[in-house]
């Protein structure tokens, strides 16, 4: 009886220690993001929110509204709409929840691979890196959402096999489900699950499991992937297989990837932002590796290095290199750093390294917090339209009559995130109408047809999305200038 009571007390204290390990990181995550919950919604967030609202009202994905993203992203945003949080502030709460999930998953991975002493530092480092405003870390972008779910898949896989005489198949299946869902949010969300596949495959070959266990491990994971990806494919078939397949797969291969229409100039720009944050981390990891080389476990480092390598491939394959692309690499980098720091033999050295690694991200965050709200779009997102979107939305709500629509020309998807109306044109981002086969002809017909919007707001020179000038001619033929809002010309249908 005494032994049983002692075991219960031990388990209770272990649980409390685990809660304490998450508390510092979670607290910093909330504090770093609190200021930006009420900052202007971005183009990516506004477009996804508008599509989710339209989908909830009966619009068909990839036909009435179009994006080169899988359904998982819109499932999450539609969930916000369903529970009454389909607002710009609700979107930022989704980003906060995703960051907490990703940091907790990375803490679990490090704890499994190295030991509980790695949990707190990993949660702290990953949470801070995911929240850096200069990476657009506080927005609910596809990278943050998919990679956080992907980290859960890797955490489950490691729990299923690490240090066990036989794998736990239900955890392997759950890992596959989460890995498939990660890719279902954004195509680049494969890095953590692919790392899990490599790790579990290697253990199946090298461990002393029964042969049947080794043979069934990977198929169990792929069965989980088939569950979530299969549901996505069934939905794609029901809504229009060709449209879904083109949006999710072929569009990237044909029109927008690292090999086609890549923006390496933007890569240089965002790399200059990332280096001051990452160099201290790499130096700290190298220092521990040199001092504690004998204590570093090869298997652990091999798994984390594999994750880092695959995440770089996921980062590069999109080819556009926006600031938030760096979020993909923050989870493995933070986990690698947290695991390495835990190898330091002296507690004071671990604490010193941890403080040194998070100092630069915290300084960058403090600098970003001082930016006036009206300048956040230009300085943190390279986009000056965000507060203009808000002002146009206020103007339209004051002027609108039942059934009125407004079109942002060529594009400003953030406008629709500020307006609770369905977008009148399927393509919310300018590059889509320009690159999609038949997209420009669809735009001409839209401005000339019976479903033309009452108002058009000219955000860019029309030649930006239509060098032929046909869109501008259609605009002048059917509309007249009636207002100027935030320096933008507003046209009304004649």
pTM of the model: 0.93
Which pLDDT score is estimated for 466? 83
Residue 382 — pLDDT band, cuts 50, 70, 90? very high
Which pLDDT score is estimated for 14? 63
Question: Residue 13 pLDDT more than 60?
Answer: no
- Mean pLDDT on 30-41: 95
- Mean pLDDT on 20-35: 93
Residue 187 — pLDDT band, cuts 50, 70, 90? very high
Which pLDDT score is estimated for 233? 96
Question: Residue 378 pLDDT more than 80?
Answer: yes
Which pLDDT score is estimated for 438? 83
Question: Residue 46 pLDDT more than 90?
Answer: yes
- Mean pLDDT on 100-109: 97
Higher per-residue pLDDT: 258 or 279: 279
Which pLDDT score is estimated for 468? 85
- Mean pLDDT on 346-367: 91
Question: Residue 260 pLDDT more than 90?
Answer: no
Which pLDDT score is estimated for 413? 93
Residue 332 — pLDDT band, cuts 50, 70, 90? very high
Q: Which of 1-15, 331-345, 450-464 bottoms out in mean pLDDT, i.e. has the lowest?
A: 1-15
Of 334, 332, 338, nearest in space to 307 by CA: 332
Residue 461 — pLDDT band, cuts 50, 70, 90? confident
Residue 389 — pLDDT band, cuts 50, 70, 90? very high
Which pLDDT score is estimated for 129? 96
Q: Each residue of 148-178: pLDDT tens digit? A: 999 999 999 999 999 888 999 999 999 999 9
Which pLDDT score is estimated for 4? 58
Question: Residue 121 pLDDT more than 70?
Answer: yes
Residue 27 — pLDDT band, cuts 50, 70, 90? very high
To the nearest whole number, what is the mean pLDDT of the chain? Answer: 91
Of 68, 79, 84, 101, nearest in space to 186 by CA: 68
- Mean pLDDT on 369-398: 95
Q: Each residue of 402-412: pLDDT tens digit? A: 999 999 998 89
Question: Residue 465 pLDDT more than 90?
Answer: no
CA 65, distance to chain mean position in Å, is 20
Q: Each residue of 413-426: pLDDT tens digit? A: 999 999 989 999 99
Q: Each residue of 201-230: pLDDT tens digit? A: 999 888 888 888 889 999 999 999 999 999
Which pLDDT score is estimated for 407? 95
Q: Name the percent of the chain lying above pLDDT 70.
A: 96
Q: Which of 195-199, 348-352, 414-418, 481-485 bottoms out in mean pLDDT, i.e. has the lowest?
A: 348-352
Residue 16 — pLDDT band, cuts 50, 70, 90? low
Which pLDDT score is estimated for 293? 65
């Amino acid at each position: 009886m005494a032994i049983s009571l002692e075991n219960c007390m031990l388990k209770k204290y272990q649980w409390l220690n685990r809660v304490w390990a998450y508390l510092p990181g979670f607290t910093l995550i909330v504090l770093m993001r609190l200021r930006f919950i009420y900052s202007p919604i971005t183009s990516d967030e506004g477009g996804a929110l508008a599509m989710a609202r339209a989908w909830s009202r009966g619009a068909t994905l990839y036909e009435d509204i179009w994006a080169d993203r899988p359904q998982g992203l819109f499932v999450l945003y539609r969930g916000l709409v369903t529970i009454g949080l389909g607002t710009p502030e609700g979107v930022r709460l989704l980003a906060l929840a995703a960051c907490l999930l990703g940091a907790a998953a990375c803490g679990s991975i490090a704890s499994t691979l190295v030991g509980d002493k790695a949990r707190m530092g990993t949660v702290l480092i990953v949470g801070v890196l995911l929240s850096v405003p200069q990476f657009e870390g506080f927005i609910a972008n596809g990278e943050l959402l998919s990679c956080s779910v992907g980290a859960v898949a890797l955490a489950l896989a490691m729990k299923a096999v690490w240090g066990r005489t036989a794998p736990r198949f239900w955890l392997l299946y759950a890992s596959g489900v989460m890995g498939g869902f990660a890719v279902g949010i954004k195509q680049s969300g494969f890095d953590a699950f692919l790392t899990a596949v490599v790790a579990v495959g290697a253990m199946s070959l090298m461990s002393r499991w029964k042969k049947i266990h080794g043979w069934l491990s990977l198929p169990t994971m792929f069965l989980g992937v088939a569950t979530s990806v299969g549901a996505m494919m069934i939905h794609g078939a029901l809504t229009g297989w060709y449209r879904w397949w083109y949006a999710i797969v072929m569009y990237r291969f044909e029109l927008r990837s690292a090999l086609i229409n890549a923006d390496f100039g933007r890569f240089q720009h965002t790399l200059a932002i990332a280096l001051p944050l990452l160099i201290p981390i790499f130096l700290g990891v190298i220092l521990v590796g040199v001092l504690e080389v004998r204590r570093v476990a090869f298997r652990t480092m091999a798994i984390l290095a594999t994750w880092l390598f695959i995440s770089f491939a996921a980062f590069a394959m999109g080819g556009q290199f926006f600031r938030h692309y760096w979020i993909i690499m923050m989870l493995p980098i933070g986990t690698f750093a947290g695991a390495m720091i835990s190898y330091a033999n002296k507690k004071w050295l671990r604490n010193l390294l941890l403080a040194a690694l998070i100092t630069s991200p915290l300084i960058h965050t403090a600098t970003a917090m001082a930016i006036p709200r009206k300048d956040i779009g230009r300085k943190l997102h390279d986009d000056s339209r965000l507060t203009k979107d808000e002002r146009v939305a206020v103007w339209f709500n004051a002027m609108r009559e039942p059934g009125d629509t407004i079109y942002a020309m060529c594009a400003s998807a953030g406008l629709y995130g500020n307006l609770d109306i369905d977008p009148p044109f399927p393509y919310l981002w300018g590059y889509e109408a320009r690159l999609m086969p038949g997209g420009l002809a669809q735009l001409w017909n839209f401005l000339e047809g019976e479903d033309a919007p009452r108002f058009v707001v000219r955000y860019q020179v029309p030649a930006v999305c239509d060098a032929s000038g046909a869109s501008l001619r259609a605009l002048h033929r059917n509309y007249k200038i009636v207002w100027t809002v935030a320096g933008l010309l507003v046209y009304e249908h004649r």
